[in-house]
């Protein structure tokens, strides 16, 4: 680094956290909690104030706004008709928790046991359950559930929508009629089944990681937030000593006396490691980057959830489509602005299901989000008018992608290749998802409401026709993860050890969804916050919370039946 670039080595703290998202906010709040350590949080994005982010029903807006989103695009996906898919990542206080769908899913207990089996010692479900309980305040809304498995005093409020629309109940009833299980709390003992969906919404507002953790913590004198572009980690004699940032056109170094923690997302964390010389050696050398630690796993193991929307026309004018006009939106908006109530106060995902795709699968690998309107994620309503839809897709796809650098320029977006549908089993599972959804929509519970199938459409029946529909219409569920995989310190493909320490560099950790050994069964916001919570104890050298050895419900028929 030249002398001119070194001007502005003005700030330092015990811990420098890169990213104020789901994990970063939780981490910064816990690291600064006892007042003994100074923390600087680096965030490229700005404020989360305003109705587009804070109003739950407006969720389709912030993820389509360049002000709040990094604007990443995948490379053309060869098995999805060479479409480039949007990859929204939050560029705002609260990160992706400020632009996501606010769906709260811990994942299945077996997901975490699998992590431990893959070398992430200390991350089994028995180990992580106490942290899930520590982070949440659970409001069951009188719908039943598993209080022994849930938290009552954490910063993250978890609620349930009112489920006033009869279609929410029709969906659950149809699942039972099709022979599936009911669950009153998929975040408790029994994930498998149909039941109410949970959301990070509190008193009618989006309860992001920023609202839950970071903003209360920013009242402390030992925590500071700086807006800047983090360019690379400064590594001296094998140790991370700070972060090089760009602020107001000037390059500065923010120094870390103890540790640098990357919590910059599954896209930006591997990018920053590679820009700092940590990653696949030959690739970095090709970009003229000095190799500090040759870790081939950096950027590899990219996973996501892919989904389609199965849409059905509704014969009764009861769907959200009746509010999908200027007057309806204005009325809902006014109600929300004045009272934080009404349609604006929910993400409208109020019923859900987790099921198994076939006999021989021991825990759910398919998720449904049900919505009482036929609409796209970018907020475009289906032209047909009244309708309802289920978002559905396999939870444990076998396809893997990668994140690589385009150049050594920190301002350039990385190259994102998901390799969706590159494994034959993923096609088999996806076809099954669509056929299961049709079977559920065909149940008697939907008889009073069911019109024609809007999408895929009644003509789409054969494997080839369904495959063509998937290739043209499948969308990301926006759960990318796994690009800095956690594993044993002697595992050449792992990037961090079970303490979140980057293997081969001192004083540097990664704590966000990029460390997941495998994507969890469901939405990834809750597991990302979990990582921030658990990593904070590790960084501070605290003993982990005592393990809770509870057994999740596993379907006794799993070997012989899918339900």
- Residue 96's CATH number: 3.50.50.60
In a domain, 506, yes or no: yes
CATH number at residue 318: 3.30.410.40
Q: Are residues 170 and 148 in the same domain?
A: no
Q: Are residues 359 and 444 in the same domain?
A: yes
What pLDDT does 281 receive? 97
Q: Between the CA atoms of 123, 129, 130 and 133, what dihedral angle is there, to the nearest 10 degrees? A: 140
Q: Binding-site residues for FAD, please?
A: 14-43, 92, 100-103
**86 strand-pairing partners:** 73
Q: How would you classify the pairing of strands 387-394 and 306-314?
A: antiparallel
Report whether 182 contacts 352 (CB < 8 A): no
Domain containing 444 equals 162-196+306-394+422-473
Q: Are residues 222 and 236 in the same domain?
A: yes
Strand, helix or coil for residue 255 = strand
Alpha helices in 312-423 (DSSP H): 326-339
Q: Are residues 177 and 36 in the same domain?
A: no
**230 strand-pairing partners:** 245
> Token pair for residue 467?
């495959």
Q: How many angstroms separate the Cα of 274 from the Cα of each of 175, 280, 292?
A: 46, 8, 10
Residues contacting residue 485 through CB under 8 Å, at least 6 positions apart: 297, 300, 301, 493, 494, 495, 496, 514, 515, 516, 517
| 496 vs 216: CA distance, rounded Å | 30
| 311 vs 372: CA distance, rounded Å | 10
Nearest residue to 352 (alpha-carbon basis) of 364, 344, 343? 364
In a domain, 521, yes or no: yes
Q: Are residues 210 and 272 in the same domain?
A: yes
Residue 193: its H or E element? strand 193-196
> Token pair for residue 80?
């999805």
Domain boundary, last residue among 411, 438, 473: 473
What pLDDT does 449 receive? 98
| 563 vs 553: CA distance, rounded Å | 13
In a domain, 277, yes or no: yes
- Phi, psi torsion values for 279, nearest 5 degrees: 160, -165
Q: Binding-site residues, please?
A: 14-43, 92, 100-103
> Token pair for residue 21?
């998202």
Is 143 among the catalytic positions? no
Q: What is the pLDDT of residues 118-175, one digit of tens each?
A: 999 999 999 999 999 999 999 986 767 889 999 999 999 999 999 999 999 999 999 9
Q: Are residues 388 and 275 in the same domain?
A: no
Q: Are residues 250 and 285 in the same domain?
A: yes
Domain boundary, last residue among 473, 493, 509: 473
Burial of 149 (0-12, 13-18, 19+ CB in 10 A): buried
- The length of the chain is 563
| 171 vs 368: CA distance, rounded Å | 10
In a domain, 499, yes or no: yes
Q: What is the pLDDT of residues 426-476, one digit of tens each?
A: 999 999 999 999 999 999 999 999 999 999 999 999 999 999 999 999 999
Q: Are residues 190 and 139 in the same domain?
A: no
Report how many domains make up the chain.
2
Q: pLDDT below 50 — which residues of the chain?
A: 1-9
What pLDDT does 382 receive? 62
Helix, strand, coil proportions of the chain in percent (round to 5)?
30, 25, 45
In a domain, 41, yes or no: yes
In a domain, 504, yes or no: yes
- Phi, psi torsion values for 26, nearest 5 degrees: -65, -45
Q: How would you classify the pairing of strands 293-294 and 278-279?
A: parallel
In a domain, 459, yes or no: yes
Q: Are residues 441 and 520 in the same domain?
A: no
Q: Are residues 84 and 168 in the same domain?
A: no
Q: How would you classify the pairing of strands 156-160 and 198-199?
A: antiparallel
What pLDDT does 315 receive? 96
What pLDDT does 4 receive? 37
In a domain, 415, yes or no: no
Q: Are residues 186 and 294 in the same domain?
A: no
Q: Are residues 64 and 175 in the same domain?
A: no
Q: What is the pLDDT of residues 30-41, one digit of tens each?
A: 999 999 999 999
What pLDDT does 383 receive? 59
| Peptide bond just before 300 cis, omega within 30 deg | no
- Which residue is catalytic, options 114, 157, 369, 479? 479
Q: How would you classify the pairing of strands 306-314 and 450-455?
A: antiparallel
Domain boundary, last residue among 455, 473, 491: 473
> Token pair for residue 5?
């670039």
């Amino acid at each position: 680094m030249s002398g001119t670039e070194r001007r502005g080595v003005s700030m330092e703290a015990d811990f420098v956290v890169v990213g104020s998202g789901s994990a970063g906010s939780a981490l910064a709040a816990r690291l600064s909690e006892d007042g003994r350590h100074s923390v600087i949080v680096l965030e490229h994005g700005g404020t989360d104030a305003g109705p587009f982010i804070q109003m739950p029903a407006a969720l389709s807006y912030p993820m389509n706004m360049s002000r709040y989103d990094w604007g990443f695009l995948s490379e053309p996906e060869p098995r999805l008709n060479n479409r480039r898919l949007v990859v929204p990542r939050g560029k705002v206080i609260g990160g992706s928790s400020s632009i996501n769908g606010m769906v709260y899913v811990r994942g299945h207990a077996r997901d975490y046991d699998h992590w431990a089996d893959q070398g992430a010692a200390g991350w089994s479900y028995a180990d992580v359950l106490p942290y899930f309980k520590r982070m949440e305040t659970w409001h069951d809304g009188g719908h039943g559930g598993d209080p022994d498995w849930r938290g009552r005093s954490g910063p993250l409020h978890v609620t349930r929508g009112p489920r006033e629309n009869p279609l929410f109940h029709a969906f659950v009833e149809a699942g039972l009629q099709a022979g599936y299980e009911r669950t009153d709390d998929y975040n408790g003992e029994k994930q498998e089944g149909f039941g109410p969906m949970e959301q990070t919404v509190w008193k009618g507002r989006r309860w992001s990681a920023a609202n839950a953790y970071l903003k209360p913590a920013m009242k402390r004198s030992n925590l500071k937030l700086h807006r800047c572009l983090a360019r690379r980690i400064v590594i001296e004699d094998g140790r991370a000593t700070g972060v090089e940032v760009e602020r107001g056109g000037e390059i500065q170094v923010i120094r870390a006396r103890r540790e640098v923690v990357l919590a910059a997302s599954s896209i930006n964390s591997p990018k920053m490691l590679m820009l700092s010389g940590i990653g696949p050696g030959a690739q970095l050398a090709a970009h003229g980057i000095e190799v500090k630690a040759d870790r081939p796993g950096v950027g590899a193991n990219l996973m996501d959830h892919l989904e389609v929307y199965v849409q059905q026309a509704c014969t009764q004018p009861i769907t959200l489509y009746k509010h999908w006009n200027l007057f309806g939106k204005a009325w809902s908006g006014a109600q929300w602005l004045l009272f934080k109530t009404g349609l604006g106060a929910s993400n409208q995902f109020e019923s859900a299901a987790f099921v198994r795709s076939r006999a021989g699968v021991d825990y759910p690998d398919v998720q449904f989000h049900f919505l009482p309107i036929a609409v796209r994620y970018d907020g475009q309503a289906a032209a047909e008018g009244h309708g309802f839809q289920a978002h559905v897709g396999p939870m444990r796809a076998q396809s893997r992608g990668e994140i690589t650098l385009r150049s050594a320029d920190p301002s350039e977006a990385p190259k994102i290749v998901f390799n969706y549908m590159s494994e034959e089993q993923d096609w088999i599972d996806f076809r099954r998802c669509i056929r299961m959804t049709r079977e559920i929509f065909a149940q008697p519970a939907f008889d009073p409401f069911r019109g024609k199938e809007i999408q895929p459409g009644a003509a789409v029946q054969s494997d080839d026709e369904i495959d063509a529909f998937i290739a043209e219409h499948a969308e990301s569920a926006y759960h990318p993860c796994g690009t800095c995989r956690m594993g044993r310190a002697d595992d050449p493909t792992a990037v961090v050890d079970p303490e979140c320490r980057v293997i081969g560099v001192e004083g540097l950790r990664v704590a966000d969804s990029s460390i997941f050994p495998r994507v969890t069964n469901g939405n990834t916001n809750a597991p990302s916050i979990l990582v921030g919570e658990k990593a904070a104890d590790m960084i501070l050298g605290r003993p982990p919370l005592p393990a809770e050895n509870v057994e999740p419900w596993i379907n006794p028929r799993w070997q012989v039946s899918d339900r």
